A and B are shown apart, each in its own frame.
Chain A
Amino acid sequence: MSFEKFFTKYLHEPDCHTLDFYKKNYQGYQGARKALHEWEPDALIDEVKASNLRGRGGAGFPTGVKWGFVPKKTDKPKYLAINADESEPGTFKDRVIMEKNPHQLLEGIIINSWAVGIHDAYIYIRGEYVFATRRLERAIEEAYQDGILGEKTLGKDFRLDVTVHRGAGAYICGEETGMLTSLEGERGLPKLKPPFPAVEGLWHCPTVVQNVETVANLPLILEIGSAAYKQIGPEASPGPKLYCVSGHVERPGTIEAPMGVNLLTLINEHCGGVWKGRKLKAVIPGGSSAHVLHARECDVAMDIESLAAAGTMLGSAGVIVMDDQTCMVNALLNIMRFYHHESCGQCTPCREGTGWLEKIVHRIAYGHGQLEDLALIDSVCDRMVGKTICVLADAAAFPAWSFIEKFRDEFVHCIEHGGSPEVKKRHPKRVGGGLRV
Chain B
Amino acid sequence: MSDLKFSESGRKKYEWLLTRYPEKQAVLLPALRIAEEEFGELGLPEMKYVANLLGISPSRVFGVVTFYTHFRRAGTGKFHIQVCSTLSCALRGSQDVVDHIAGRLGIECGETTEDGLFTLTKVECLGSCDTAPMFQLNDDYHESLTIEDVDRIIDDCRNGSGKNGASGKNGGSA
Do A and B touch each other in the complex, judged by CB within 8 A?
Answer: yes
Considering the complex, give the chain B residue whose CB is closest to the CB of A189.
B67
Residue B109 CB within 8 A of the other chain: no
Residues of the A chain whose Cβ atoms lie less than 8 Å from the Cβ of B130: 92, 244-246, 252-254
6 additional contacts (CB under 8 A) given A89-B88, A244-B130: A92-B127, A168-B69, A188-B68, A247-B129, A254-B130, A320-B87
Kindly provide the distance from the CB of B120 to the nearest chain A CB, expressed in whole angstroms.
16
Considering the complex, give the chain B residue whose CB is closest to the CB of A288.
B87
Residues of the A chain whose Cβ atoms lie less than 8 Å from the Cβ of B129: 89-92, 244, 246-247, 252, 318, 320
Segment from B1-9, B132-140, B148-156 that makes contact with A: B132-140
Kindly provide the distance from the CB of B155 to the nearest chain A CB, expressed in whole angstroms.
23
A219 to B174 alpha-carbon distance, docked (Å): 24
Residues of the B chain whose Cβ atoms lie less than 8 Å from the Cβ of A86: 127
Q: Which of A154-188 contact B (CB under 8 A)?
A: 161, 163, 165-171, 182-188
Centre residue among A87, A90, A171, A334 by max chain B CB count within 10 A: A334
Q: Are A342 and B124 in contact (CB under 8 A)?
A: yes
Residues of the B chain whose Cβ atoms lie less than 8 Å from the Cβ of A99: 170
Given A90-B87, A203-B22, A165 contacting B29 (CB threshold 8 A):
yes
C-beta contact mask, A311-350 vs B, less than 8 Å → 1, else 0? 0000000101010001000010011001001101000000
Q: Are B25 and A186 in contact (CB under 8 A)?
A: yes
* Sampled A-B contacts (15; CB under 8 Å): A87-B127, A89-B125, A165-B29, A166-B29, A167-B29, A168-B69, A168-B71, A169-B69, A188-B68, A244-B129, A245-B130, A253-B130, A288-B86, A320-B87, A331-B91
Query: B-contacting residues of A (Cβ < 8 Å)?
Result: 17, 77, 86-92, 95, 99, 126-131, 134-135, 137-138, 161, 163, 165-171, 182-188, 203, 244-248, 252-254, 284, 288, 318, 320, 322, 326, 331, 334-335, 338, 341-342, 344, 426
Q: Among B20, B126, B132, B136, which residue has its beta carbon within 8 angstroms of that of A163?
A: B20
Considering the complex, give the chain A residue whose CB is closest to the CB of B131.
A252
Given A89-B129, A252-B129, A169 contacting B88 (CB threshold 8 A):
no
Q: Are B173 and A168 in contact (CB under 8 A)?
A: no
Residue B95 CB within 8 A of the other chain: yes
Kindly provide the distance from the CB of A188 to the nearest chain B CB, expressed in whole angstroms.
7
Kindly provide the distance from the CB of B84 to the nearest chain A CB, expressed in whole angstroms.
9
Residues of the B chain whose Cβ atoms lie less than 8 Å from the Cβ of A188: 67-68
Given A89-B86, A167-B68, A185-B64, A131 contacting B30 (CB threshold 8 A):
no
Q: Are A168 and B140 in contact (CB under 8 A)?
A: no
Chain A contact residues, majority secondary structure: mixed
Residues of the B chain whose Cβ atoms lie less than 8 Å from the Cβ of A170: 67-69
Q: Are A168 and B32 in contact (CB under 8 A)?
A: yes
Residue B27 CB within 8 A of the other chain: yes
Q: Among A17, A127, A130, which residue has its beta carbon within 8 angstroms of that of B140?
A: A130
Q: Are A131 and B141 in contact (CB under 8 A)?
A: yes
Query: A-contacting residues of B (Cβ < 8 Å)?
Result: 20-23, 25-30, 32-33, 54, 60, 63-64, 67-71, 85-88, 90-92, 95, 123-132, 136, 139-141, 170-171, 173-174
A245 to B88 alpha-carbon distance, docked (Å): 9
Q: Are B126 and A322 in contact (CB under 8 A)?
A: no
Q: Are A130 and B139 in contact (CB under 8 A)?
A: yes
Q: Are A89 and B87 in contact (CB under 8 A)?
A: yes
Q: Are B174 and A171 in contact (CB under 8 A)?
A: no
Considering the complex, give the chain A residue whose CB is closest to the CB of B139.
A130
Kindly provide the distance from the CB of A94 to the nearest chain B CB, expressed in whole angstroms.
8
Considering the complex, give the chain A residue whose CB is closest to the CB of B130.
A252
Residues of the A chain whose Cβ atoms lie less than 8 Å from the Cβ of B32: 168
Q: Are B91 and A168 in contact (CB under 8 A)?
A: no
A198 to B90 alpha-carbon distance, docked (Å): 38
Residues of the A chain whose Cβ atoms lie less than 8 Å from the Cβ of B132: 246, 252
Residues of the A chain whose Cβ atoms lie less than 8 Å from the Cβ of B69: 168-170
Q: Among B20, B64, B136, B140, which residue has its beta carbon within 8 angstroms of that of A161?
A: B20
Closest CB pairs A-B (n = 5) = A169-B70, A246-B129, A185-B28, A168-B68, A185-B25
Q: Are A166 and B30 in contact (CB under 8 A)?
A: yes
Q: Are B29 and A168 in contact (CB under 8 A)?
A: yes
